[in-house]
Structure 1
Amino acid sequence: MKIGLYFGTYNPIHVGHLIIANYMADFTELDQVWLVVTPQNPLKKKNTLLEDYHRLAMVEIAVEDNTKLTASNIEFKLPQPSYTSNTLAYLKEKHPKHEFSLIMGEDNLRTLHKWKNFDQILNNHMIYVYPRALTEQERTEVIEQTETENTLAQHKNVIVCDAPVMKVSASFIRKAIKDKKDVRYLLTEPVFKYVTDMNFYKK
């Protein structure tokens, strides 16, 4: 089975994440997409980041009715900080019959050469890349990194996908909730209910 790994803090998971995940599961050769919830780095306490189990719970309820999407807490069990190469090695050992690929935004592709064991990742796993709406700061950085990205994008294991992308972020949603704005259409109904019932992001 071909599994795409879509890593994120999912704080909270929103419709933009789900559109990407569903596109990859339906319009590529992947059989399933696992949304891998990134655990909080114990050395970096961030007030805005919810506990791991809350973020995992939101992903679980967001995808529970889709057989092609699965919430994964695999990195909760691994040493911190989490390195993608370590996670891939662990999954390959645990699920030898599965073929694991990565799903990432074009912004991550531009910095892939800085990742631990990036050559090993690039040569042994397919990477599905989706476009991202960029901030002004990112646009400036892009000009400096275009050559690196172009080189990586030409790699035989990199597949650039024309996935639909929404210019919405978890940080925008958190700020909107804090400012008492209505975000119901940016989250699935179960996730919106969970966030509302738990009074998350209001402070």
Structure 2
Amino acid sequence: MENFRKNIGLYFGTFNPIHIGHLIIANHMVENSDLDEIWMVVTPHNPFKKKSSLLDNHHRLDMVYLATEGYDKIQPSDIEFNLPQPNYTINTLTHISEKHPNYKFNLIMGEDNLKSFHKWRNYEAILDDYNVYVYPRISEGVVENQFTEHLKIHRVAAPIVEISSTMVRNSIKNEKNIQPLLSSKVFDYIDKMNFYRK
């Protein structure tokens, strides 16, 4: 067994915006597994896709910084910002492993993503070299048989949190109070910057 200094879970998302659901999952995963840290990897805007309501990369990263202050085991990451687009998870995993050879990296995903994991680019290569930690989600479809008992796939009985960034954005647009759904610093930042109002 190689000697790794830290066992790190990578939690990918657009975090548009990051909400308490993301924090509940990340904190539960790091406190109830053998992971030492969770890195919240902010996914950059794909230049090949229509922009829609996705905030600029640096604003979403700023909000992840604000939301994770005070969580020693949860760190923001902009590792994907400098990778060529469109980017695939396997490329990020390879890049980050080369950049930090002393760390062991793992992929974190919701069960909804596990159901479509067989469609991911080079998913076999991901499972050859990385462990996958799965948290429960309410979603349609079934997990493929090849993933149900896979030695590299670990299920963590995290709380099921049905809060979405889409719901947060729509509520702001419709002038609803969403304070309980965001950390106070993220709420203040969105309010000050006037985000998601239109």
TM-score, scaled relative to structure 1: 0.93
For the pair 1:72 / 2:112, whether they are aligned, the reply is no
2:3 matched residue in structure 1: none
1:181 matched residue in structure 2: 176
Q: Is the 8 A contact 2:114 2:143 kept in 1?
A: no
Contiguous gaps of at least 5 residues in structure 2: 1-5
Q: How does 1:162-173 map to 2 (within 5 A)?
A: 162-173=157-168
Q: How does 1:115-134 map to 2 (within 5 A)?
A: 115-134=120-139
Q: CA deviation at 1:147?
A: 5.4
CA 1:198 to 1:147, structure 2 compared with 1: closer, same or farther past 3 Å?
Answer: closer
Q: How does 1:1-203 map to 2 (within 5 A)?
A: 1-134=6-139, 139=140, 142=141, 146=142, 148=144, 150-203=145-198
Instruction: List 4+ stretches of structure 1 deviating above 4 A.
Output: none
1:127-165 per-residue CA deviation (whole Å, 9 max, x = no partner) reads: 00001133xxxx2xx1xxx251x4212100000111012
Q: SS of the counterpart of 2:39?
A: strand
Q: CA deviation at 1:45?
A: 2.8
Q: Is the 8 A contact 1:153 1:159 kept in 2?
A: no
Distance 1:110 1:156 in 2: 17
CA 1:88 to 1:166, structure 2 compared with 1: closer, same or farther past 3 Å?
Answer: same
Q: Is the 8 A contact 2:32 2:156 kept in 1?
A: no
Distance 1:47 1:89 in 2: 29
Distance 1:92 1:180 in 2: 43
Distance 1:41 1:200 in 2: 20
Q: CA deviation at 1:25?
A: 1.1
Distance 2:121 2:95 in 1: 15
Distance 1:117 1:165 in 2: 28
Distance 1:147 1:169 in 2: 22
Q: SS of the counterpart of 1:11?
A: coil
Distance 1:186 1:43 in 2: 31
- Identity among equivalent pairs (%): 50
Q: SS of the counterpart of 2:138?
A: coil
Contiguous gaps of at least 5 residues in structure 1: none
**Number of matched residues?**
193
Normalized per residue, the structure richer in helix is: 1
Cα RMSD of the aligned pairs, angstroms, is: 0.9
Q: Is the 8 A contact 1:38 1:76 kept in 2?
A: yes
Distance 1:19 1:125 in 2: 23
